[in-house]
Amino acid sequence: SWQCPLRFYWLSKEDNLFLQQCNEKFEYGYEHMGFNDRLVVTPLTDRIYLTVTQ
């Protein structure tokens, strides 16, 4: 359960930022997606993110 919150890591060997949640590790893309719509974070939203990254 302590692995499930979204965490950010700077890896100096790779000189890059990574995100990790549960079992998945993603390279940070440095992309701005804009402010078109708002995402309402609910308990269901959290469960979906956890399911996708496991």
- pLDDT tens profile 1-48: 666 788 999 999 989 999 998 888 889 988 876 666 767 788 888 888
pLDDT of residue 52: 81
pLDDT of residue 54: 79
Domains in the chain, number: 1
Work out whether the CA dihedral 5, 24, 28, 13 comes out positive or negative.
positive
**Domain assignment of residue 1, yes or no:** no
**Domain assignment of residue 22, yes or no:** yes
**Domain assignment of residue 2, yes or no:** no
**Domain assignment of residue 26, yes or no:** yes
pLDDT of residue 23: 84
pLDDT of residue 2: 65
**Domain assignment of residue 12, yes or no:** yes
Contacts of 41 (CB under 8 A, 6+ apart): none
pLDDT of residue 36: 66
pLDDT of residue 50: 81
**Domain assignment of residue 19, yes or no:** yes
**Domain assignment of residue 17, yes or no:** yes
Where in the sequence is the domain holding 37, given as residue range(s)?
7-52
